[in-house]
């Protein structure tokens, strides 16, 4: 029951993260949002890490690998997601974000010598059909080039997620989740801080004290970037990685719901059809993992 409660809460938090980004874009630029998000996430995680009283061998930490994962799992993709939401509604970005498992499999094939079965390749094709259906939407107030740019930014972010997942699996197996989470946020804050130098985003707007802005900062930084990490890793440790990835199916539904209720975003029927294709693609591309996990479990109980 605790695992399913964690799954439900995490889907609500991460679903609302896309809404929080949309609200914050009215005041901050994308890299400011990433910087503040990472900073609030660090402030949330580090005290909890200190209370856990875990010992860390600082000299043996794979600093280079941790930095790469941080840049590719927070700094770069979070900035691209926020940038894409300057063009796309929060619901669309969440739906495109659901393609992450597909890109994770593709990155494994291209860069990490991972082999896929024919069913998984069919899943990739079905997922891409879903993306093409989404690209056929009519976005009032946007040119076709702006719409395409929003899609490219969002899909590039999911590619970063996919590569970093494979990279972390290969190089950070022996690193604790506390260290991985905190260094990811630290690297993200450093990268976004550098990007702010080039975008002129260091000045703090006067409207930052608005109620909606403060609530969005708390929701995105403390909950969406701090506590959400801990919930996700709890599901992996207490359940399994396969169980934790179920959140992929729930986050877009949550995001579309919040965007519709709180931001009056309208999602056309073709977007839901595209989401169904993406879900089918995600299911098929991850089918080998679930089958192998079941086989290992059966072998252990034999």
Contacts of 19 (CB under 8 A, 6+ apart): 90, 216, 255, 258, 259, 262, 263
Q: Does residue 155 register a pLDDT over 90? A: yes
Residue 156 near residue 84, CB atoms below 8 Å: no
pLDDT confidence of residue 50: 83
What does the block give as tokens for 62? 């794979």
- Residue 32: CB atoms within 10 A of its CB come to 25
Could you list the residue range(s) of the whole structural domain that residue 297 is in?
A: 2-301
Q: Does residue 242 register a pLDDT over 80? A: no
Taking residues 129-152, report their average pLDDT. Answer: 83
The Cα 228–Cα 221 span in angstroms is 10
Residues of the chain with pLDDT > 70: what percent?
88
What does the block give as tokens for 237? 């440790």
Residues of the chain with pLDDT > 90: what percent?
37
Total number of domains constituting the chain: 1
Taking residues 169-189, report their average pLDDT. Answer: 86
The Cα 146–Cα 140 span in angstroms is 11
**Least trusted range by pLDDT, from 140-149, 211-220, 250-259:** 140-149
pLDDT confidence of residue 300: 33
The Cα 27–Cα 207 span in angstroms is 7
Q: Where are the beta strands (DSSP E) in 9-80?
A: none
pLDDT confidence of residue 262: 85
pLDDT confidence of residue 212: 83
pLDDT confidence of residue 236: 66
pLDDT confidence of residue 296: 36
pLDDT digits (tens, 9 = 90+) for 266-289: 878 888 899 999 999 888 887 665
pLDDT digits (tens, 9 = 90+) for 17-62: 999 999 999 889 999 999 999 999 999 988 888 887 777 777 888 9
DSSP classification of residue 288: H
Q: How confident is the model at residue 301 (pLDDT cuts 50, 70, 90)?
A: very low
Q: How confident is the model at residue 142 (pLDDT cuts 50, 70, 90)?
A: confident
- Per the prediction, the chain carries an average pLDDT of 84
Q: Does residue 293 register a pLDDT over 60? A: no
């Amino acid at each position: 029951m605790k695992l399913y409660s964690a799954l439900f809460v995490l889907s609500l938090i991460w679903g609302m993260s896309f809404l929080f980004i949309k609200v914050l874009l009215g005041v901050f630029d994308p890299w400011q949002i990433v910087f503040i998000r990472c900073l609030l996430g660090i402030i949330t995680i580090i005290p909890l890490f200190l209370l856990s009283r875990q010992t860390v061998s600082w000299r043996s930490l794979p600093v280079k690998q941790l930095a790469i994962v941080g840049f590719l799992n927070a700094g770069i993709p979070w900035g691209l997601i926020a940038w894409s939401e300057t063009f796309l509604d929060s619901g669309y970005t969440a739906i495109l974000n659901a393609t992450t498992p597909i890109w994770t499999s593709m990155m494994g094939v291209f860069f990490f010598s991972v082999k896929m079965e024919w069913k998984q390749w069919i899943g990739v094709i079905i997922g891409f059909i879903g993306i093409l259906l989404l690209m056929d939407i009519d976005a009032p107030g946007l040119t076709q080039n702006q719409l395409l740019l929003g899609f490219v930014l969002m899909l590039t972010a999911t590619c970063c997620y996919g590569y970093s997942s494979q990279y972390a699996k290969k190089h950070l197996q022996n690193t604790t989740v506390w260290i991985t989470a905190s260094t990811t946020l630290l690297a993200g804050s450093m990268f976004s801080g550098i990007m702010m130098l080039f975008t002129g985003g260091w000045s703090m707007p006067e409207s930052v004290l608005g109620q909606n802005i403060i609530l969005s900062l708390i929701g995105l930084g403390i909950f969406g970037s701090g506590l959400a990490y801990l919930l996700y890793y709890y599901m992996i440790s207490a359940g399994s990685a396969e169980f934790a990835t179920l959140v992929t199916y729930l986050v877009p539904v949550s995001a579309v719901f919040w965007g519709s209720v709180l931001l009056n975003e309208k999602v056309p029927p073709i977007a839901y059809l595209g989401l169904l294709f993406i879900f089918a693609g995600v299911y098929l591309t991850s089918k080998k993992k679930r089958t192998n996990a079941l086989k290992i479990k059966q072998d252990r109980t034999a």
